[in-house]
Amino acid sequence: MDKQGYLGVYLSQQTATAVLLSAQGPDIKVQDSFSVSSETVEEPGLSLASIVARKIAARGRSFRSASVAVDCALYTQHDLRSEFTNPKQIAQTIRFDAEEAMAADAMDMAVAFNVTATDQDGSNVAVFTANRQLLTDILNDLQADGLDPMSIEPDVICLMRFFRHYLEPSAGPGPILVIFSDRSCYIIINPAHAQNVPVVRSFLVNPSQDKTSVLARQIPLTIASLTLAAPPASLLIAGCAENINYDELAQRTGLQIQTIELPLPQSQDQSPSAPQTAGAAFAIAYGSALSQLPRTGKTDFRQDFAPYIGQKLVLQKTLRFVSICITIIILAAAAHFQLQAFKTNNYASQLDTKMSDNYSAVMMGKKPPAQESIPSRLRREYNTILKREKGLIGDDESIPAKLTRIFEALEDSPSRIDLRIDNISITQKSIRITGDTNRRSGTLSLFNSLKKKNFKILQQNLTQKGNRDTFSITLELVQRS
C-alpha cells in the first residue's frame, strides 16, 4: 500500500472520477483510477460526493492527501481588473470586485482567482465563483465518509495543470488547447510558456450543438480579449471531438488544427455496472492530484470558506501525544525519586530514633544534645572516662574540671582585694559562689578573672556590709571554641 500517494477526485454533475498517483522524485505513476455514477448507485438519494468517498474507502487504497476538482457547471468565471499587483492585496479585495461585477452578496459566494497578466496599472484576474452552500454540502458529504480534501478547485485549472505536465514544451508560441468532455468545453491558451497563470475558459456544450461553429465563434473571441506576446499558431483538440469539420475550422480561425489523444487508463473495476473513465475526466482528476505536489500553486475555493486544517490537526495531535508522554515520564521519574527520598528519610529517621534510645541508655537517661551530634558527644564522653581512669580531670564539663577552673580564676585575681570565699556549690548545670572583698572594685576584678576562664555570669548579687563588699554569683562554664 502506497502511503505517499496523492488522490485526485473530479466531481461532475452525474459522474465522479478518482485517480491515485504515486510520486517518487520526478517519476509520477498512476496507482489506481475509477469512475462512479449517481445513476447506478444502489442507495437512492445518496450524493455523488458520498458515493465516491465510500468507493475510495471500499477499495482500501492508502494515500497521503486528497484534493477535489468541481465541474464547470458548478461555478462561473469572470475576467476582472484589479488595481493591485501584489497577490496578497488582490486576495483581500477581489471578493468585493466580484460582488460588484456579479451584483450578488459576497457572503453567498466561494471565490478563487488567478492573476493572468500584470502591468504598472494593475492586474488582470480570472475570478471563479461558486455557491458557498453547495461546496459546503459537498465538503460535508466527503468528510462524513472519511475523505477530507486539501483543496477544491475549478476543473479547468486542474486540466491546465495536467497538460503542463503531460505535453512537451514547445520552442515557439504555445498552442491553444481545446478539450471536450461529455458536456463541457475547455480552452487553455499557452499552458507552457505564460509568464503568469495561463488563460483558461470553460463552458457547457450541448451534445446536439455544432462543435465546429462553437469553436469558430469562441476561439477568435478568446484571442481578441487577450494581450499575447505572440499570436498562437496552432490549435490542439482533444477529448470528445467527434463531428468536427477540421478544414472548415482551420479556414475560419486561421490556425493549424491538430488532434491529440488523451490518456485513458484501464480501470481495475471490471464489474459490468462500473462506468468507463472518460479521457477528460481522468485528466482533470490527474491534474487535481498534481496540486498536492510541493511548490504547486492552487486556485482553491476551500481556502475562502473552510480552510484545510488537516495537517495542522495532525501536528497538534502529535505534539499533544508527545507532551503527554513527556509529562508521564516526568511524573514517573518524580514519583520514583520521591519514593527513594521517602525510603531514605524513613531509614534515617529509624536510625536517629534508635541512636537516641541507645544514647539515653548509655548516658543514664540523659536526652541527646541539641547543639552537638550524638557521635561527637559520645566520643567526648568516652575520652572523659578514659581520663578519669588514668587519674586525670576529664572533660571541661566534669565537676573536677569546673572546680579546677574556678581555683585558677581565684588565684589569678589580685591579692589586694583581700578575697574571702564563704561557699562554692557546683551542679551539672551551674556554679554558685558566695564571699566578700575589701571593696567593690575588687569584687569586679574577681568577676573579670572568672570571665577570662570562660565562665558566664548568669546572676549576681552585691551588698556592702561595713567595710566589706559581699557578693553572691551564679556561673555557667562556656565551652571553648
Enumerate the β-bridge partners of residue 67: 8
For residues 410 and 303, membership in a common domain is answered with no
Task: Say what the pLDDT of residue 69 is.
Answer: 96
Q: Tally the domains of the chain.
A: 2
Closest CA to 215 of 195, 231, 237: 237
How far is Cα 225 from Cα 408, in angstroms, rounded to an integer?
A: 126
The DSSP element (H or E) to which 216 belongs, if any, is helix 211-224
Half-sphere exposure of 281 (CA within 13 A, CB side): 23
What pLDDT does residue 314 have? 63
Shared-domain flag, residues 158 and 265: yes
Residue 11, in any domain of the structure: yes
Domain presence at residue 191: no
Q: Is 330 helix (H, G, I), strand (E, B) or coil?
A: helix
Confidence of residue 273 (pLDDT cuts 50, 70, 90): low
| Grid cell 588514668 in the structure block, residue | 390
CA–CA distance, 9 with 20 (Å, rounded to integer): 9
Give helix 399-412 / helix 440-452 axis angle, nearest 10°: 130
Contact between residue 15 and residue 36 where contact means Cβ atoms under 8 Å apart: yes
Find all residues with CB under 8 Å of 144, minimum gap 6, and list them: 50, 53
Per-residue cell: 70:
468541481
Residue-wise pLDDT for 294-351, tens only, equals 888 899 999 998 888 766 666 777 788 889 999 999 999 999 899 999 989 888 888 8
32 touches 268 (CB < 8 A): yes
CATH code of the domain containing 423: 3.30.70.60
**Residue 361 lies inside a defined structural domain of this protein:** no
Structural domain containing residue 156: 6-170+256-308
Cα 28 off chain centre by: 31
Quote the CA–CA distance of 17 and 35 in Å, as a whole number.
Answer: 4
What is the pLDDT confidence band of residue 84, given thresholds at 50, 70 and 90? very high
Q: In what order do the strands lie in the sheet with 109-119?
A: 75-82, 122-131, 109-119
Could you tell me which residues are beta bridge partners of residue 202?
186
What pTM did the predictor assign?
Answer: 0.64
In a domain, residue 49? The reply is yes
Mean local confidence (pLDDT), 245-269: 82
Query: According to the model, what pLDDT value does residue 374 have?
Result: 80
List pLDDT tens digits, range 385-423.
776 666 555 556 667 777 788 888 888 888 888 888 889
pLDDT tens string 136-181: 999 999 999 989 999 999 999 999 999 888 877 665 567 888 999 8
Please report, for the domain that includes residue 166, its CATH number: 3.30.420.380
Q: HSE of 475 in the Cβ direction (CA atoms, 13 Å)?
A: 30
- Do residues 37 and 161 share a domain? yes
- Considering the domain boundaries, does residue 358 fall inside one? no
